[in-house]
Amino acid sequence: MRRWMLAAVVAGMAQGAQAADLPDLSDLPVLRGGITDGLSASTVNWQGAYVGGHIGYSSGTDDFSSATQSLSNFVFRNTNLQDVSSSVALLGKAHPNGTSFGGFVGYNAQWDDAVLGIEANYSRLSSFSASSSASYGPVNTGKACSAASAVDTCTEILALNGNASANVTDVLTLRGRAGWSIGNFMPYMFGGVALGRADIYRSVTPTVQGLHIASDGSTQTYRNTLSQFQPTYDGGNGVFMYGYTAGIGLETMLIGGLFARAEYEYVHFTKVKDIDIQINTVRAGLGYKF
């Protein structure tokens, strides 16, 4: 009996010595900080600061419908043609598309499986440009000419040529995030403000003539009557815009603090130079949480 007890004691001491020699796996960089205290072993710790980069593809809508109206109103200010020109939606919509690349930085706070965060996201767009051009008229406005002979009746004939273009180069969004940790995955949604920069140009070229009808009604001729109306241009490079952003995404923790993400983002800028710009973007990225 004594020999059995002695053998058991020796075996226990040997096992204890072997365990003391084994490395502490919980201290490996891959596992350190991966699980928050008090959470289940399947819940990833998303809390902390993070940085990363992304690539994406964007498509959008540039609405140029009212891009030239303010220019026309300026050209025909204080004349009887202003109310006519202000009602003309000369241009239409265009649909640009292009690729983008950029980076992001943010911070997450976590309560159990709920994750809230704030993030700054920058994208540099490539060839995200669109343009529209169109003509209106000539039409008889029914407005009396400003200069007509005593023996003629005269109405003004109006024609407009318009052009507009927009090339969005940079987009910066500041957004809040709300996510839910599910194993190694975290679906999230976000919303916030958007700032942008674009190269924007627009122009309108007016042509005004008079339709003269002789007193006997037999002769009709066009004559230039208001040559003071000149082409008008507006715009420039690096025009700043602001608006809002919203979207959804999914992140997955790969190893240690390295994670991958995929997301969809919608950005809508308020009108700039009377142009309405909307952008839809899908992107993929890699990041690291500290």
pLDDT digit string (tens) for 52-70?
Answer: 999 999 999 999 998 988 8
Listed as ranges, residues in the chain with pLDDT below 70 are 1-42, 146-152, 214-228
86 belongs to a structural domain:
yes
**pLDDT score for 76:** 84
**pLDDT score for 175:** 97
Question: What is the spatial distance between Cα 198 and Cα 200, in angstroms, rounded to a whole number?
Answer: 6
**pLDDT score for 137:** 81
Phi, then psi, of 79 in degrees rounded to 5: -125, 170
**pLDDT score for 118:** 98
233 belongs to a structural domain:
no
284 belongs to a structural domain:
yes
pTM of the model: 0.78
Question: What is the spatial distance between Cα 267 and Cα 250, in angstroms, rounded to a whole number?
Answer: 18
CATH, residue 122: 2.40.160.20
57 belongs to a structural domain:
yes
Q: Model confidence over 79-98: pLDDT tens digits?
A: 878 888 878 888 999 999 99
Q: Tokens representing 96?
A: 């640009």
Question: What is the spatial distance between Cα 178 and Cα 105, in angstroms, rounded to a whole number?
Answer: 16
32 belongs to a structural domain:
no
**pLDDT score for 111:** 95
With left for phi above 0 and alpha for psi between -120 and 50, is residue 149 left, alpha or beta?
beta
38 belongs to a structural domain:
no
Peptide bond into 29 cis (omega under 30): no
**pLDDT score for 5:** 45
70 belongs to a structural domain:
yes
Q: What's the number of domains the chain is made of?
A: 1
187 belongs to a structural domain:
yes
